[in-house]
């Protein structure tokens, strides 16, 4: 049997990078992003604001369109995907600005906390534990946003807060030593093509960049008149020779759905939290799958009722009657 192998030669050309501007408060992150929109290399710019003031005044520095949304995760993701799908400008390349990724991660963490609080009883519980399944859901949402950003067919500028944090010793205790840390999902510095740090006003460092044209071996200071236009040109992107940015996202294969196997293993679920996680992993169609003449969802409800009979504290309410929307039903 002959297996077909699809290959291609590398172009040897640079691609437009995703640049992260990470800095302290009021150090010029938004200013530099807005100034970049006036570069002669840029055609049209889409500006997505997350948790920050809209940059109307900064319109004097360049030319960009503010993408409006309602501030929810779904609206933000939709806006980013729509921006990536826009037709190419008549001249130059399109630019995407997202300000700020710190606020995006704060939003996802807040959503996870809200669900944890609701599970605890729906009241104003601020100390409810965010469980592993909720952190995994937040990380998956972050990954969807990053995939949308990577799909944008041009340069991308992201902003994030850069804070000084204590270094932990081998026992997990804080030391007097402090380092700069990007405040966002921990994967963000690894997911971008260039990290530009702006710890104080007028201080700019390139901490890392994927480039053969601009090779740095250590954190490097850049000129006081730093601009992204200058940075792009240093990367060789003003020569008209560039290649589209391509990213191959790994796609996990789903395990085969086995309703009978799930039903047979329900006796192992002695914790309402674990049972809830199982419910949420199943689609409405999977919950409706018959097992010995009864929907799988009914068997999960019956297991929960049994746990109640054992006088376990309910993690959150269960509607055992008719359900109009199974996806929205709290298990």
Q: Which pLDDT tens digit goes with each residue over 104-162?
A: 999 999 998 888 888 777 655 567 888 888 898 899 999 999 999 999 999 999 999 99
pLDDT mean over 174-198:
92
Which residues make up the CATH 3.40.50.300 domain(s) of the chain? 18-234
pLDDT at 205 over 70: yes
Question: Residue 69: is its pLDDT beyond 90?
Answer: yes
The pLDDT value recorded for residue 239 is 82
The alpha helices in the chain, defined as continuous H runs, are: 29-36, 73-84, 101-120, 132-150, 188-191, 228-234, 259-264, 272-281, 284-287, 296-309
Does pLDDT of 283 surpass 50? yes
CATH of domain 18-234: 3.40.50.300
The pTM score is: 0.74
pLDDT of residue 122: 61
What gap in Å lies between CA 28 and CA 195, rounded to an integer? 15
Q: Is the pLDDT of residue 328 over 50?
A: no
In the prediction, which pLDDT does 320 show? Answer: 40
Tell me what pLDDT residue 271 has.
78
Extended strands (E) in 155-225? 156-168, 174-183, 194-198, 205-209, 220-221
pLDDT at 325: 42
- What is the band of 313 on the pLDDT scale with cuts at 50, 70, 90? very low
Query: Whole-number mean pLDDT of the chain?
Result: 86
Task: State residue 89's pLDDT score.
Answer: 94
Cβ atoms < 10 Å from Cβ of 197: 20
Name the nearest CA neighbour of 155 among 226, 68, 28, 245.
Answer: 245
Q: What is the pLDDT of residue 148?
A: 94
């Amino acid at each position: 049997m002959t297996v077909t192998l699809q290959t291609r030669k590398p172009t040897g050309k640079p691609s437009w990078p995703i640049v992260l501007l990470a800095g302290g408060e009021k150090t010029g992150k938004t200013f530099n992003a807005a100034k970049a929109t006036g570069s002669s290399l840029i055609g049209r710019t889409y500006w997505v604001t997350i948790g920050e003031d809209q940059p109307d005044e900064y319109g004097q520095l360049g030319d960009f369109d503010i993408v409006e949304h309602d501030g929810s995760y779904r609206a933000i993701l939709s806006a980013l995907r729509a921006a990536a799908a826009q037709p190419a400008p008549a001249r130059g390349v399109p630019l995407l600005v997202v300000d700020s990724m710190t606020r995006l991660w704060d939003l996802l963490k807040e959503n996870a906390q809200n669900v944890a609080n609701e599970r605890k009883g729906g009241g104003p519980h601020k100390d409810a534990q965010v469980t592993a399944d909720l952190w995994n859901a937040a990380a998956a949402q972050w990954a969807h946003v990053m995939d949308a950003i990577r799909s944008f067919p041009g340069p991308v500028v992201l902003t994030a807060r850069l804070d000084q944090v204590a270094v932990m010793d081998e026992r997990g205790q804080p030391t007097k030593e402090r380092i700069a840390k990007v405040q966002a999902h921990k994967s963000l510095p690894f997911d971008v093509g260039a990290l530009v740090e702006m710890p104080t006003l007028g201080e700019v460092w390139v901490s890392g960049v994927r480039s053969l044209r601009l090779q740095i071996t250590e954190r490097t200071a850049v000129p006081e008149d730093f601009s992204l236009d200058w940075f792009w040109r240093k990367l060789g992107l003003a020569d008209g020779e560039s290649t589209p940015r391509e990213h191959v996202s790994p796609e996990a294969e789903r395990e085969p759905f086995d309703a009978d196997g799930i039903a047979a293993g329900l006796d192992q679920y002695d914790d309402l939290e674990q049972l809830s996680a199982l419910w949420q992993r199943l689609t409405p169609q999977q919950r409706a799958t018959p097992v010995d003449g009864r929907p799988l969802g009914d068997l999960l409800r019956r297991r929960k009722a049994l746990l109640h009979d054992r006088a376990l504290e309910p993690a959150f309410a269960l509607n055992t009657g008719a359900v109009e929307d199974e996806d929205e039903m709290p298990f």
